[in-house]
């Protein structure tokens, strides 16, 4: 028991804490951006990211995987928030968690076997494109300073690891954020900062019960959204877990991860946060920055809260250009480049499945639809080839 705890929590303390700091920083602009997509206050996404990251570090089935508020989930909430408001979203988040726990006990993670490798690659590539597209508003109609800062940020991210000794000590995305911020302040460059994205909360999250009528009518309103959120959340989490398994050469408990996602979403709903799931981009940043155990996920959540609540004055001056550079790096490393270079060698059917998944996801911004398209096409080809 103690050796398991040591292995899952304290076997890589320095790497995990530093990776947690980088992820905590990278989560902030994302959580704010996803809150804006969903049509809620930035603090809803920030509280969700803190709650989900901390809870999942204890109850999840995949150490070093980062879960928080995500774009895929935010896209599903838009109509609910617009028509019924925040309280209904919090209730839907709690119900999402309950459905996910049920899915964990019913062992629905087995259904992942029907998702072929081509669909997973298509999903990952589409996500990389969506992450890149989400940065475009920060790069359109801006001064040349922004492009210069983003280019410098990317140069730091890719070249800093080559510096002898120092390059391995500090994660390059963190160095990029600090260097670009100091440069912008020193030269007095007028660019958009994190502070311009929306007001940051100055209090800790509190326990609250959604203020809605507890009747069948309410249930009928939130149920369709909760089912969709639960499905997309689990799908993205299972896929991310598989990718982290491959990156770290370690196994994960998918059934436990389903239950863990559910518990984390219930906690988020009661703390005034929105529903979330595993994040492919952040999990990549975590593993690439040296995070290997549950401590990295826990640190990310704690750093996020400390940064947002206690030193938000420092955060507000970080130029968005620095974070755009980090997110572009994430989209480049998320994209499966071998799927493009090996197009000729792969069977035609798997290429069609992969490309169809990418097109549907990018066109609809709905990951679930893309995966469903991919799975149906795979089944069709499999049936035809029999």
How many CB atoms within 10 Å of residue 76? Answer: 24
pLDDT at 386: 66
Q: What distance, in Å, lies between the first and last C-alpha atoms of the chain?
A: 49
Residue pLDDT, tens place only, 249-287: 888 888 888 999 999 999 999 998 899 999 887 888 888
How many other β-carbons are positioned within 10 Å of the β-carbon of residue 69? 34
pLDDT at 74: 82
> In the chain, which stretches have pLDDT less than 70?
112-113, 198, 367, 386
pLDDT of residue 253: 86
Stretch (H or E) spanning 67: strand 67-68
pLDDT at 68: 92
Structure confidence by residue, pLDDT tens digits, 173-232: 778 888 999 999 999 888 888 777 767 777 777 888 887 888 888 888 888 889 888 988
- Tokens in use for 214? 């507890």
**Ranges of each domain in the chain:** 2-385
DSSP letters for 6-23: HHHHSSSHHHHHHHHHHH
Residue 216 backbone zone (phi > 0: left; psi -120 to 50: alpha; other: beta) = alpha
């Amino acid at each position: 028991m103690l050796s398991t705890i040591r292995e899952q929590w304290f076997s890589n303390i320095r790497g995990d804490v530093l990776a947690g700091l980088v992820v905590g920083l990278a989560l902030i602009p994302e959580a704010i951006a996803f809150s804006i997509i969903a049509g809620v206050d930035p603090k809803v996404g920030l509280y969700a990211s803190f709650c989900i990251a901390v809870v999942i570090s204890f109850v999840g089935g995949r150490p070093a995987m980062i879960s928080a508020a995500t774009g895929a989930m935010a896209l599903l909430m838009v109509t609910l928030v617009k028509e019924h408001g925040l309280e209904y979203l919090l209730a839907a988040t709690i119900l999402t968690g309950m459905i996910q726990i049920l899915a964990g006990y019913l062992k629905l993670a087995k259904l992942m076997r029907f998702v072929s490798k081509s669909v997973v690659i298509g999903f990952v590539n589409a996500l990389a494109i969506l992450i890149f597209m989400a940065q475009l508003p920060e790069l359109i109609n801006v001064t040349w300073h922004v492009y210069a800062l983003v280019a410098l940020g990317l140069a730091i991210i890719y070249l800093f690891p080559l510096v002898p000794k120092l390059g391995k000590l500090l994660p390059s995305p963190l160095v990029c954020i600090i260097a670009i911020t100091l440069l912008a302040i020193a030269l007095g460059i007028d660019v958009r900062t994190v502070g311009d994205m929306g007001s940051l909360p100055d209090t800790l999250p509190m326990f609250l019960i959604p203020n809605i009528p507890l009747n069948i009518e309410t249930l009928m309103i939130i149920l369709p959204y909760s089912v969709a959120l639960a499905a997309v959340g689990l799908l993205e989490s299972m896929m991310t877990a598989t990718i982290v398994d491959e990156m770290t050469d370690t196994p994960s408990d998918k059934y436990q991860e389903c239950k863990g996602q559910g518990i984390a979403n219930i906690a988020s709903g009661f703390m005034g946060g929105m529903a979330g799931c595993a994040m492919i981009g952040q999990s990549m940043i975590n593993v690439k920055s040296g995070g290997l155990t549950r401590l990295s996920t826990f640190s990310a959540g704690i750093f996020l809260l400390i940064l947002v609540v206690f030193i938000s004055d420092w955060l507000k001056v970080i130029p968005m250009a620095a974070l755009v550079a980090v997110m572009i790096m994430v989209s480049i490393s998320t994209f499966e480049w071998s799927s493009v270079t090996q197009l000729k060698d792969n069977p035609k059917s798997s290429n069609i499945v992969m490309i169809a998944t990418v097109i549907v996801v990018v066109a609809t911004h709905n990951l679930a639809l893309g995966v469903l398209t991919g799975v149906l096409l795979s089944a069709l080809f499999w049936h035809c080839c029999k």
